[in-house]
Chains A and B, each alone.
Chain A
C-alpha cells in the first residue's frame, strides 16, 4: 500500500493563478517532507521542504503547508507561470534519513 499518495494525476491552471498540489501520507513516523519537480527527459530537482516541527515553509512563489493531524501537505505556487509546467512529486522521510518515499506525482499544466 502506498504510504504517500497524490490523488490528482493532473492539474491545469491559468497563468497568474494559484496552483495547489496535494499530498497525503499514512505513516506517522515520517519526519521530513520534500517536493521535487521533474521536466521530461531530466531527473527530478528539489523544490522545497518542510520539517514536521513546522506547519509552513515559504520560498519565493512556492509555499508548502503541513497539517500533521490530517497527515496532509500541499504545495502552493503563486503566481503560476508556464515554466512551472512539470510533474511534481511529494516525498517523505523518517528521522533516520536513509529512505525516501515518493508519491505517484501530479502533472501540472500552466496555460498562457
Chain B
C-alpha cells in the first residue's frame, strides 16, 4: 500500500532531551516536507526537501533539523526540545514538482514537551 509512515504516533518527553521523529514513504517521491499543526494556525511548514541531500527551511525552522540521505526517509530531529514545540507534526511527500502536486500526508505525531 502506498503510504507515508511516521513514528512514533505519540511522544511525551522532557525539555532538552534530544528526539527524532521518523518519516518514510514507499512511493519513490522526490519531494518531502514536515509541518506542524497548531490550533488556529493551520499547518506551518518546518523544512522541505526537493531531492536527496537537498533540504531547505520552511516558515518555522527554528529548533528543528532534518536530513535526506535516502529518497524514502526524511527524519525530523529536535536537538533540545522546548515546551513551545508541543504540537501535532505531519510528514508529507509529493510525486511531482513539489507542492503543486497533491501532498500525501502521514497520520501525524503528537508531541508533548514538558
A interface residues with partner B (beta carbon < 8 Å): 2, 4, 6, 9, 31-32, 34, 36, 41-46, 49, 89, 91, 93, 96-105
The count of residues in chain B whose C-beta lies closer than 8 Å to any C-beta of chain A is 29
Contact flag A44-B90 (CB < 8 Å), given A34-B102, A99-B58, A101-B59: yes
22 A-B residue pairs with CB within 8 Å: A2-B41, A31-B100, A42-B108, A43-B4, A44-B90, A44-B103, A44-B105, A46-B102, A46-B103, A46-B104, A49-B102, A93-B98, A96-B98, A97-B100, A99-B99, A100-B103, A101-B45, A101-B59, A102-B35, A102-B42, A102-B43, A104-B40
Contact flag A100-B105 (CB < 8 Å), given A32-B100, A43-B92: no
Binary interface encoding of chain B residues 92-114 relative to chain A, with 1 for a CB under 8 A from any of its CBs, else 0? 10001111111111111000000
- Determine how close the nearest CB of chain A comes to the CB of B74; give it in whole angstroms: 14
What residues of chain A lie closer than 8 Å to B104, measured between beta carbons?
46
- Determine how close the nearest CB of chain A comes to the CB of B26; give it in whole angstroms: 15
